[in-house]
Chain A
Amino acid sequence: MSPSIPLQEMIRAIRSARTQCEERGVIQRECAAIRAQFRQVDNGGARSHNLAKLLYVHMLGYPAHFGQMECVRMIASPRYSEKRVGYLGAMMLLDEKQDASLLITNSIKNDLAHSNQYVQSLALCTLACMGSAEMCRDLAPEIDRLLRASNSYIKKKAALCAVHIVRKVHDLGELFAPAARSLLAEKNHGVLHGAVVLITQLCERNPEALERFRKTVPDLVQIMKGLVISGYSPEHDVAGISDPFLQVRILRLLRILGRHNETASDAMNDLLAQVATNTDSTKTVGNAVLYETVLTVLDIKSESGLRVLAVNILGRFLLNNDRNIRYIAMTSLQRIVGTDHNAVQRHRGTIVDCLKDQDASVKRRALELSLALVSASNIRTMMKELLLFLSSCPPELRAQAASGIFHAAERYAPSQRWHIDTILHVLTTAGGDVRDETVPNLIQLITNTSELHCYTVHKLYRALLTDISQPSLVQVACWCIGEYGDLLLKGECQETEPSQVTEDDALDALETVLQSHMSSPATRGFALTATMKLSTRITENVDRIRSIVSIYGSCMDVELQQRAVEYNALFRKYDHMRAAVLERMPVIEKNSSGHTNGETAGDAVKEIQPAAVKQTGPLLPQQPANQVCDLLDLLGGSEEPLQPSTALGLPNSTSTAGGDLLDLLGGLELTPLAPAPTVPVYEKDGVSLTLICEKTSDSGMTVTLTASNSTDSDISVFTLQAAVPKSVQLHMKAPSGDFLPARGAAKVTQMVALNNPNKVNLKMRIRISYNTSQGSAYQDTVQIDSFPGL
């Protein structure tokens, strides 16, 4: 067996390997040798050497698990060099998930009590790096002992080891609290630093500990003052700041202790002011301390003067040449933009400038902060900047920018036209990154601003001509052209330059969208429906529309095919209804819960679809999902064809508010359009009976009988009985009551359902019986031979 080469030789050999394959070869050879060496009991000083080689190989990414047991053995060795490498190996190869890690617990325990502090240090370091919860529990008492009675070198390490233990096993925090407290009295900076970190950890975990440690605030302030004011200490000085690491940790602990607590905050006010003003901010290290100070001031209950000082420091950071400092400043400003909005507003200019920075992280921060700073007063200027940013921003920020812009526009839009313009601008620049709700939201917005319909449709038409690649924009444009095509063709428009758009132009545009490979099926659906709608708004090219629609009747896409077939049927069989069905949409109400109107409509559409395709029943124009669902519901609900007379009646009514349209359509289901006449059938002794007839189906009808009493005395026990020819089925529903008060104060109604399948001449005999107020019973009969409305 060839002897293994020294570590550095091996490293050299690996580095000089010219190919991956060669490297693998060297490593395999070495690993084999190392394995063999491990199996030997003792080979002098070469053991640590071999393990080191294995660790190097491990760092290159090769498997090294066969070294785990060797680590355990090395740690138990009495020789320092072997222990050193053994512990290093343990930290690299053994983590708490490995079973072998438990085997070193005993070794660590022994080494923690070793006479040589450097051995103790190895054990402490390893425990703090990879100690599992079990190991921590076992060894916690040892650590506590070391915290109290050892030299500074060990104490500082024990403190940080305790931090790790508390992170792993929260309950053990209680164990270390007293020792931590007493460590604050030490002079050694390392120990102080460790103590502060430990106390921070205890306070973060346990609110009770936090309460107790608040008493240390004066001590901490004292220590801090010592660092800030005292003279030059060469050992701890970094660019003029005395021990910045310790200062930062103390400031962080003060932040935790002062939060939500007036007294503690007061106690540290002066100190914070002093640090904020005296710290030299020319180098990064000074800025690090200032940064921590600012974070503390903003988080505790500080006086307003101090807060202003802190925000001003952040303002200065924003102007710093160092990009890191600018980034830090914006991160901090983001935290306080909610609470100290005005203070941050003062720096808006600088923040907006940072939108143009080269660095993507800085850009992101600037974007978030800018969006937070948008308000009603600065909306126009801010939006200009934001839209400029959007056109040149990195792709990963586009979606965030677009949705932020929409949100801001919605909240602070100074005018409707501005709002629509802004949304259109976003759609043209970043249409691919906007969310799906944008399309229905925009459509809803457009329908609401009726005075701008003309302007909007002209703008969208022009946008469509230039670019049909942005799906959201194309969908909205198609919808508008379909809906407001008449305004587009009219040519003149107040808000924008007039342009002559012919019917052919409009149809060309829509056809381009239909045929383009860039259009998604949803977009094509929009375009097809828009084309169909135009058939009622244009006069000359209806045939062209018919041909377009019939072509798509054999389209591969099922959705389009279905729509086309239905529209075709609308042309052929229901031409009389076409105008009504394709009329201008009523104003869409925004669904406040944030769901698009499309969701509910979608369901309604799905139910009715199977019925509508093949039957002769009324057709269901497939509007885009965001249309008013009621319209679809009602048209789909009724099964029989609507009367011609009723359809003609509709166009008149749509000139009024949209709600009427829906009501009337709802009425179509049950009654003829004109309200049915009320026919008096009986009048005697002050008691009158009237009748209303409603046809409910082909052979069925409902007769409503209404009785009233115009005498001066009440009538009680009022009942009606009815009889009809044999083939007619009769069902009397329960009356509304049997008491008729005097002078027509109230009426009694009763509904009678009749079914006349043989269509015989309908006659009905009604017997009326009641008691007068004097108590006498009264009866009468009446025959009804003709029922108006049938």
Chain B
Amino acid sequence: MQFMLLFSRQGKLRLQKWYVPLSDKEKKKITRELVQTVLARKPKMCSFLEWRDLKVVYKRYASLYFCCAIEEQDNELITLEIIHRYVELLDKYFGSVCELDIIFNFEKAYFILDEFLLGGEAQETSKKNVLKAIEQADLLQEPRHEYFNVPVY
């Protein structure tokens, strides 16, 4: 996988994970163009499109678009499964996940993604193991002693 983008129906970016080195300017340009292209697609259309020299796989879950750019040799159908697996993980972690969860806890979304994919490839194929690892890592987080007495995020 080259990159994964999550964005809302209005085109606001909620998560971006890049597995290839690109400058900030290039990333912004790609994001803008790809978001426009995907948002222009009609509901019943194919989940795959050719964009520049990449294959793009996208799927809409409620108000969020999950969009992955894969290489020529990658299997599009299994990429759809990867997207689905990630949504399932988020759902399990947040308990019936919605877009707001991902907005307010974006760093958690990243942590979960980083336990599922590494360097653009799936690292753990068992849902249970991914969730267990996140749980354990969360326990390591030191509680915050600071001025507003809000709970650990």
Contact = CB atoms under 8 A, between A and B. Distances in A.
B23 interface: yes
B92 interface: no
B118 A161 contact: yes
Given A55-B107, A95-B22, A361-B48, A193 B122 contact: yes
B48 A97 contact: no
A324 B125 contact: no
Interface residues of B, number: 60
A46 B146 contact: yes
A287 B77 contact: yes
B145 A44 contact: yes
Given A189-B125, A190-B124, A235-B128, A359 B137 contact: no
Nearest to A87: B114
B21 A97 contact: yes
Contacts of B18: 95, 129
Contact of A45 (B47, B82, B140, B146): B146
Contacts of B128: 235
Contacts of B81: 238, 244-245, 284-285, 288
A197 B124 CA distance: 12
Interface string A235-272: 11010000111101000100000000000000000000
B120 to A, nearest CB: 8
Interface in B14-40: 14-16, 18-19, 21-23, 28
B125 A193 contact: yes
Contacts of B50: 361
B80 to A, nearest CB: 6
Nearest to B119: A128
Given A11-B103, A46-B144, A246-B125, A129 B19 contact: yes
B136 A328 contact: no
B142 A236 contact: no
Contact of B46 (A45, A153, A359): A359
A687 B34 CA distance: 93
A197 B121 contact: yes
Contact of A235 (B15, B103, B126): B126
Nearest to B126: A235
Interface in A188-212: 189-190, 193-194, 197
A104 to B, nearest CB: 15
Contacts of A59: 13-16, 106
Contacts of A46: 144, 146
B62 interface: no
B148 to A, nearest CB: 6
Interface size class of A (residues with CB under 8 A): 35 or more
Nearest to A85: B107
Contacts of A360: 45
A344 interface: no
A503 interface: no
Contacts of B129: 190, 235
Interface in A142-178: 153, 156-157, 160-161, 163-164
A421 to B, nearest CB: 34
Contacts of A284: 77, 80-81
A166 to B, nearest CB: 11
A288 B48 CA distance: 14
Given A59-B106, A125-B118, A129-B119, A6 B44 contact: no
A719 B16 CA distance: 97
Nearest to A15: B103
B97 interface: no
Contacts of A5: 148
Interface string A5-39: 11110011001000000000000000000000000
A61 interface: yes
Contact of B28 (A61, A97, A358): A61
Contact of A288 (B77, B106, B140): B77
B94 interface: no
Interface string B126-153: 1111000100110011111111101001
Contacts of B111: 84, 88
Given A125-B118, A160-B119, A328-B76, A45 B124 contact: no
Contact of B121 (A61, A95, A160): A160
B61 interface: no
A121 B129 CA distance: 14
A633 interface: no
B114 to A, nearest CB: 5
B77 A118 contact: no
A323 B144 contact: no
Task: Give me the 7 closest cross-chain CB pairs, A-B, nearest first.
Answer: A288-B77, A128-B119, A45-B144, A160-B118, A164-B119, A80-B140, A288-B78
Given A95-B23, A324-B47, 8 more contacts: A45-B144, A55-B106, A55-B107, A84-B111, A125-B114, A160-B118, A285-B78, A327-B48
